[in-house]
Amino acid sequence: MTHDVNLGVGNYAESGVTGMFYHAPAGTALPTFPGDTLGQAWTEVGAISADGITFNSNWSFEKLKNWANQTERMLPGDESGTVNAPVIDTTEESFKTIFGANNVTVTAATATHGKLISADVTATNLPDAEAYLFLLKDDDDMIMIGTTKGYISELGEVSFSSDAAITWSPTITADKWTITKDNGQKSA
């Protein structure tokens, strides 16, 4: 087995990882179906950890009540849900996705140090909206979960330990998510 310095453990191409994470400029159209060829705008962020992604729907509603305190109508909340995506690649692309391209500085390698990737992590330097896409494969079945405009709204706790890959856990919030499953059973 070869070793991939982006992961810290093994090589995701050899380990059978079946889910990948992509991003594109906000407004980029999602593929028509999960196995569709991705357009040039889509860039791979990296491999997702064995924990996989977590989708949480936010079907919250505000009750509009009449004078008798009876619910007359329900107004939907502001967002449809979130995806938590534990990324196990520590690369320039993952930093630019998680922290925002404008907040990442890359310095070329020199005779005294390797390539440096620095993120400015402050509460006011948030990443811009982007399109996000997750592709999952299980045998012939494929699932895609995506949004054409989402925001990294949170970065979970990051552990730097000696016995596990560094895992970056951004939460992506969006007004609209699309979930599509292709069972792989093609007609003649």
Give dist(CA 106, CA 129) in Å, integer: 21
Q: Where are the domains of the chain?
A: 12-31+42-181
Structure tokens belonging to residue 153: 């709204």
pLDDT reported for residue 76: 67
Contact 79, 174 (CB under 8 A): yes
For the chain (188 residues), the mean pLDDT of every run of 10, in chain order, is 40 49 96 90 90 81 82 71 91 94 94 94 86 85 92 90 90 92 81
pLDDT reported for residue 113: 95
Task: Please give the angle made by the CA atoms of 58, 61 and 67, to the nearest 5 degrees.
Answer: 170
Secondary structure percentages of the chain, helix, strand, coil, to 5: 10, 40, 50
pLDDT reported for residue 7: 39
Torsion 168-159-92-95 (CA) sign: positive
pLDDT reported for residue 15: 39
Structure tokens belonging to residue 177: 């998510």
Task: Please give the angle made by the CA atoms of 144, 8 and 127, to the nearest 5 degrees.
Answer: 50
pLDDT reported for residue 14: 41
pTM of the model as a whole: 0.79
pLDDT reported for residue 67: 87
Task: Kindly indicate whether the domain formed by 12-31+42-181 is annotated with CATH number 3.40.50.
Answer: no
